[in-house]
């Protein structure tokens, strides 16, 4: 089975990106990261790309101030690299609808809550964990899902929960959730690359 060509879109430090790189280098994922695209020029994720010999690109507001041109450049890059799978690993931009349509059920995102709780517009980064703490839930977690034209509304691939403890801070929850993100995102990528994910309506069936 030929390797799946992967593009990873990032905006920050790229710890989830690193978890995927590590699994690929260990032979656990039948895929190859062809390009890492960052929306921020100084994102540490681009340093990770350089360290591992992966092409890194900055496509953002400074070099492409026109949103339409920016989205076109991203799409052109994906086509040039013959990308099969797009991974959003802390990408803080809304994807163009044309891209979402073209790569239907081939774009994977990681969200730091148990969707459909604490997700959607305005729920990103520490804002998610602040809302979890404020609401007083006893469990939170992370969700890997396919991306559709909504915000955090695509079919759920994998979820894992963690306990919210009585004296937790936002930082405590963030650290615990990030730990499971590093588990379930590479697993979802592995399953995709092995052709084991089947979307039936809103359900994602993991085939044996």
Q: What is the mean pLDDT of the segment spanning 22-51? A: 96
> Has residue 69 got a pLDDT over 90?
yes
Give the whole-number percent of the chain exceeding pLDDT 90: 92
> Has residue 66 got a pLDDT over 80?
yes
> Has residue 48 got a pLDDT over 80?
yes
In sequence order, the 6+-apart residues with CB closer than 8 A to the CB of 193 are: 3, 4, 29, 30, 31, 85
Q: Which of 100, 89, 182 is nearest to 141 (CA)?
A: 182
State the pLDDT at residue 93.
86
> Has residue 61 got a pLDDT over 80?
yes
Q: What is the mean pLDDT of the segment spanning 33-51? A: 96
Which residues of the chain does CATH 3.40.50.170 include? 1-103, 110-208
Q: What is the mean pLDDT of the segment spanning 132-153? A: 97
The architecture that CATH gives domain 110-208 is: 3-Layer(aba) Sandwich (3.40)
State the pLDDT at residue 92.
87
> Has residue 1 got a pLDDT over 80?
no
Which CATH number applies to 1-103: 3.40.50.170, 1.10.357.10, 1.10.645.10, 3.60.9.10?
A: 3.40.50.170
Centre a 10 Å sphere on the Cβ of residue 82 and count the other Cβ atoms it contains.
8
State the pLDDT at residue 2.
86
Active centre residues (catalytic):
111
Give me Rg for the CA atoms of the chain: 17
State the pLDDT at residue 59.
96
Tens of pLDDT, residue by residue over 175-184, are 999 999 999 9
For 2, counting Cβ atoms within 10 Å of its Cβ (0-12 exposed, 13-18 middle, 19+ buried), the class is exposed
Q: Which of 113, 179, 107 is nearest to 141 (CA)?
A: 113
């Amino acid at each position: 089975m030929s390797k799946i060509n992967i593009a990873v879109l990032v905006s920050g430090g790229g710890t989830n990106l690193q978890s995927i790189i590590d699994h690929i280098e260990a032979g656990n994922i039948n895929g190859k990261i062809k390009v890492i695209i960052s929306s921020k020029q100084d994102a540490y994720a681009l340093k990770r790309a350089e360290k591992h010999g992966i092409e890194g690109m900055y496509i953002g507001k400074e070099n492409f101030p026109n949103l339409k041109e920016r989205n076109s450049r991203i799409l052109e890059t994906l086509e040039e690299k013959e990308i099969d799978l797009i991974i959003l690993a802390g990408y803080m931009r809304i994807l163009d609808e044309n891209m979402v349509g073209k790569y239907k059920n081939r774009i994977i995102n990681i969200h730091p809550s148990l969707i459909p709780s604490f997700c959607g517009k305005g729920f990103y980064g520490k804002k998610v964990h602040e809302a979890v703490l404020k609401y007083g839930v006893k469990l939170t977690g992370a969700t890997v899902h396919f991306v559709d034209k909504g915000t955090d509304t695509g079919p759920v691939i994998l979820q894992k929960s963690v306990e919210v403890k009585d004296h937790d801070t936002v930082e405590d929850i963030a650290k615990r959730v990030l730990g499971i993100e590093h588990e379930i995102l590479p697993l979802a990528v592995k399953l995709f690359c092995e052709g084991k994910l089947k979307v039936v309506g809103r359900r994602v069936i993991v085939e044996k």
